[in-house]
Amino acid sequence: MQTHKPHNHQEHQHQEHNHDHGCGCSHDHAKTQHGCSTEKTPVGATAAHDHQAAHEHGTSCCSSDGPDDPDEESDRLAAVPPSGSQRFSWKVTGMDCPSCAKKIENAVTSIPGVDSARVLFATEKLVVDAQSDVSMRIQDAVKQAGFTLLGTTPAAQGDEPKTSRFGEYGPLILLSALMVLSWVLDFFNPRLGEIAFIATTLVGLVPIASKALRLIRSGTPFAIETLMSVAAIGALFIGATAEAAMVLLLFMVGELLESYAANRARRGVKALMELVPEDALLIQGSVRKRVPVASLRPGDVIEIAPGGRLPADAELLNPFASFDESALTGESVPVERQQGQKVAAGSLSVDQAAQMKVTSEPGKNAIDRILQLIEEAEERRAPIERFLDRFSRYYTPAIMLLAVAVILVPPLLFAEAWEMWIYRGLTLLLIGCPCALVISTPAAITSGLAAATRRGALIKGGAALEQLGQVQTIAFDKTGTLTEGKPTVTDVLPAAGLSEQQLLAIAAAVEAGSHHPLAQAIVNRAAENGAALPLAEGRRALAGIGVEGKVGR
């Protein structure tokens, strides 16, 4: 019989564990009122931000350096609400692009009693400082602008409406089909084709013009939807029916692509939030009970099952235990922790049940601090984004005023023909649409951030992404960056009397069922070699040493 001690991991039973960790988060932001979280903040109070920097944990999530750009200063959310204000927060659904965030801010800030409003696009969060509880009016204003508010609690976010594929792609599919039909009709009968293009344009105008009207009523009269609607209608008047329909089709395609890119970018944030389970096993003397993670407080004792994730930052009470912290650090090899050492929320207990003492307040664990960094990065927009925000603020009304001037000035002052100058003014509206700028730039930045997230890199916003082009030297962290972060067996050196195949079979038999990455590497190598695994008996881990088992020969 053989005894095998290949690596260092904790005591376990070599059995399959249930890895269903839930999909909720532990963000207990505040008391919920009307589907939002709110907190009254007197003068001199600490920040009421949901994901505060927890400096007592040794992680600074706040920067004391002021921004160099005054526009960047205006992007920041005030750390402390004004005197006597309350801070409300909601989750916003229905945003396709960063410009949607500005539309929501305009709608909310127009409400009397609202001091400030900030929409964090990456985390889909609306934060409002108001002198009184105007939550119902805020919800009405956001709904009128075409978006939906949900509470910040996991239960409220569970009520998020599901968007059907037809509802998302239906208008674009319908408009595309009508465009193809119009081209076919135009090929055989130009007169009938022109009528078809007019009908296609009117169908495409319905969702865009209705959204433009909602935005006008909510305080954003010069939105891109407004200019698109006016340009399409103007194109119909000058007889450019095919161009009118095509402009609307391209606009819908751009909106859909931007929505897709935004959703891909948010997946990394959602995956991070899902590292924290919804409930925890609380131990109170001899009583064990499941409780919501939001109810945990520092000093509570909880137990984490093998394969379970920590719902909060906690201190280990066991003599030692092994934790997989790869979700936070990228290091795939489990970390050995001794009694009294702290372990971050989201870490996974590898091989044994571990009793832990909670050390973090709700909403202030390691995952929440990372989420706060993402929110702060959201507020530090790229210089090109801030420029385009200012540009689009003045460009759209300027183009519309210029088109009106082109239509009115020559006929009134110089007795020119009205028909020609109306045609030119409407042409200016059509070609002056800034969709290439105001849509493509945020979409490009969002897509870049999403592509980096899919490859394991979390970039702190558009400003950092833009600065990457000026980087001269890059220093890499090896694990998970230059390497896959997954150990593999490179060489097998059998002792005398054993073949490589026999050694792999014996080692894999002892390691089978272990969650340790080194154990899995050995089992995978044996499977690749087609080794038949013998039966291993008495398998057990030697805490801090390795694993052993008996294999009959």
Q: What is the 3-state secondary structure (H, E, C) of 145-163?
A: CCCEEECCCHHHHCCCCCC
* CA–CA gap between residue 330 and residue 127 (Å, rounded): 32
Residue 63, pLDDT > 60, answer: no
Q: Which residues contact 499 (CB under 8 A, 6 or more apart)?
A: none
pLDDT tens readout for residues 398-446: 888 998 999 999 999 999 998 889 888 888 877 776 656 655 666 677 6
Percent of the chain with pLDDT over 90: 17
Q: Would you say how long the chain is, in residues?
A: 553
Give the DSSP letter of residue 488.
-
| Rg (alpha carbons) of the chain, rounded to whole number | 30
- The pair of structure tokens assigned to 401 is 């005023």
Residue 269, pLDDT > 80, answer: no
Residue 280, pLDDT > 60, answer: yes
- From 3.30.70.100, 2.60.40.1180, 3.40.50.300, 3.40.1450.10, which CATH number describes the 31-157 domain? 3.30.70.100
Give the DSSP letter of residue 105.
H
Element (H, E) at 115: strand 114-120
- The pair of structure tokens assigned to 378 is 């959201």
User: How far, CA to CA in Å, does 361 sit from each of 107, 123, 312, 369?
Assistant: 34, 21, 8, 12
Bridge-based pairing of strands 279-284 and 148-150 is unpaired
Q: Which of 20, 313, 477, 491 is catalytic?
A: 477
Tell which residue, 505, 499, 547, 512, has the closest CA to residue 526. Answer: 505
Q: How many CA atoms lie within 13 A of 119 on its CB side?
A: 26
Residue corresponding to tokens 């038999």: 509
Tell which residue, 152, 155, 160, has the closest CA to residue 371. Answer: 152
Give the DSSP letter of residue 309.
B
* CA–CA gap between residue 290 and residue 57 (Å, rounded): 26
* Domain extents in the chain: 31-157, 279-363
* CA–CA gap between residue 266 and residue 220 (Å, rounded): 26
**Interior CA angle at 232 toward 229 and 238, to 5°?**
140
* CA–CA gap between residue 519 and residue 101 (Å, rounded): 48
Same fold? 31-157, 279-363: no
Report residue 289: phi and psi, to 5°: -150, 150
User: How far, CA to CA in Å, does 446 sit from each of 259, 316, 434?
Assistant: 10, 39, 19
- Note the maximum CA span of the chain: 108
| Burial call 10-22: b when 16+ CB within 10 Å, e when fewer | bbbebeebeeebe
Residue 84, pLDDT > 90, answer: no
Burial class (CB in 10 A: 0-12, 13-18, 19+), 528: exposed
* CA–CA gap between residue 328 and residue 311 (Å, rounded): 14
Residue corresponding to tokens 């235990």: 321
| Top-tier CATH class for 279-363 | mainly beta
Residue 41, pLDDT > 70, answer: no
pLDDT reported for residue 408: 94
Q: Dihedral of the CA atoms 345, 349, 350, 352 (nearest 10)?
A: 170
For the segment 30-48, the average pLDDT, to the nearest whole number, is: 38
For the segment 315-340, the average pLDDT, to the nearest whole number, is: 85
* CA–CA gap between residue 118 and residue 81 (Å, rounded): 12
Q: Which residues contact 209 (CB under 8 A, 6 or more apart)?
A: 225, 229
Higher pLDDT, 284 or 94: 284
First to last CA, the chain: 6
Judged by average pLDDT, the poorest of 124-138, 272-286, 339-353, 451-465 is 451-465
Average pLDDT of every residue of the chain: 76
pLDDT tens readout for residues 110-169: 898 888 888 887 778 888 888 888 888 898 888 888 888 886 554 444 455 555 666 678
Do 410 and 86 meet the contact criterion of CB atoms below 8 Å apart?
no
> Does residue 389 have an active-site annotation?
no
Do 206 and 232 meet the contact criterion of CB atoms below 8 Å apart?
no
pLDDT reported for residue 257: 74
pLDDT reported for residue 66: 40
pLDDT tens readout for residues 346-396: 998 887 889 999 999 888 898 888 887 776 666 666 676 677 667 777 887
Element (H, E) at 23: none
- CA torsion sign for 514, 519, 522, 525 is positive
Do 275 and 313 meet the contact criterion of CB atoms below 8 Å apart?
no
C-alpha 213: how far from chain center = 29
Give the DSSP letter of residue 122.
T
- Indicate the pTM of the whole model: 0.56
pLDDT grade for 455, boundaries at 50, 70 and 90: confident
Bridge-based pairing of strands 36-40 and 86-93 is antiparallel
pLDDT reported for residue 438: 56
Tell which residue, 292, 348, 343, has the closest CA to residue 317. Answer: 343
